Structure 1
């Protein structure tokens, strides 16, 4: 009964409270409590933007952070009180980073003094005591060993003891001794080397199949930012069998395959001290590549081709394009083949004019404009040219020949072999070609310095094209006085002993001489020193 009464009393009280409220709308507080905007979270490592250095690392207050280039092995070499007073360590237990930075690039090391220090990409981080305000970078390049910490360095410039593959300490001149040397590493602290046998922008070590790349891997990277002590203009790149290798002062850069840990520089003594030096700002420019084919000036012949030591090179007029006719032991004993795997040429020569052929005996031989190159055993010293005109088939190799004088079997358009009198038979005949080995012909219906074949509209020129060229040098067996030129309907045709010179349109390959039987043997003869002057 008491419980029922209590329920009725409470209900009546609630109804009375509601009925006494004259305004059914809820009241609005005229002075609500104002909530402050949330304070944005400040990251413990920020990405600053410096007008000179670009993107740099700072702490949460914008104070610049630094690398010490002596810290080559993920440990701090700044241990003295004087060093630490000038370069206080940076440490944050909990790292948060700005956009553009990766948490995984940060770590923590235990210093030798027991303190902890934050690292970035393995490099311990420091402040500089003389930075007095956020954004200052006064510690950059101090003593050439302190650098503002950046997220986009491709390289680092370090200073440490050189310890060779043999376990011995070395100085910068590769003599044994204790003392730090400055040198370039990648951003992970891996040492970069040069090779003393390389030349400017020329890798002389790496095999075409990269079979030796594991020993000295080429350094491949698209360089971004570098420490201020280095000059970006000193860096470049070269193509190495389809891959891109970075160069410094013209020197191709390599790793050493047996450097297993950051800070290793074992390659400086392998296979002997100084064969693979480190690279630094004192490294001299790489020497220019030594030409393997040179252009020498001869008092009689003018410009001639020689090897790197100045020994004269020769053409054999019996050779056809990319094919050597000097195959016997006797011939090769007198005329050794010239071969260079890597062709580097003097100014005035075009490397594209050189190639390599495989001879029938399996040996390799270098060619120039399709002509295999030889030495002459009778040349006893650099500059000798005693092989020129031997047997009227050997000639000093020159870059400026306009013509060549060859000796070969005449084989007509009809497939038959001919002799020099245009009767059928086997035997070689001398005749003039252009420098590419294309046969030149005369026409028996022409008269002295008069072309009686070519139509005024050149409608028949494709059958027997006129030979047009500004003649330069010619083989010594030929007399420049025998050559001239005539006007043919506004074009200039070369003549020899009064004979206008022609090609045969159906000679498709170097060495072809099919025209000697077309339309009949001897109508279009070859020309040589025995050809009579045309009257």
Structure 2
């Protein structure tokens, strides 16, 4: 009986490995470059430059607006047209208003305090007025931890960005993979409603995968896809290259379905894969269409619809 049980166990294990192999299908020449590096922090040169130097929130003290400017009322809100972002919400002076992914809209809550609030000054609720194209019923307020009232649009707390120095600037777009210009309804400004993952034709790279915000998706050559998905990007690396959160296979368009799944990293973060390869965005990309992460460190590449690294030597 003991021998029979062991045989059955071996058969079950083999079947599970076979199923995983069939789902993930190790591609020729794309094996991880040294399994001993899986889960370890790579060399700094592999991360690429960040657009968020200084205090870690995307701005340093030398570039921040004056305290008076930070505290100014938004006044009469307006809607401007951006060739890259579509309809963008601005204040009365034409400065872009932003929203933070780590905040919540239901109920409204701001998670940006201290140094974060210096880099991203909260927009005061007092004095803000709706304009043409802005539904006044979406305007609200949230009480911050310091007791001040912050403007909300559709429940999302609104901010300015210290590195925007003139009307129309959108330097805060995509910073840290968590800050985005606000649309008139409080959602992220975008030219179109995109699925969780889709394909965009880049003039230089051809067909590449983008996320729901239209941001280019990348692969790290030190990651592993077989027999299980593993990310070698942790710590400071993950700050430069935020992991793409899992999306339903039904919420994709043009992306190969095989190996399209999510997994849970050792740090507890849930990450999406394309053909079982973990995928990321790049903090150095600030607007849809940017491909600043392409080829960084010779290890980061845009992802093709079948999950291969575009332009990499495999």
Normalised by the size of structure 1, how large is the TM-score?
0.25
Which structure carries more relative contact order (alpha carbon 8 Å, separation 6+)?
2
Q: Which structure's CA Rg is the greater one?
A: 1
Normalised by the size of structure 2, how large is the TM-score?
0.40
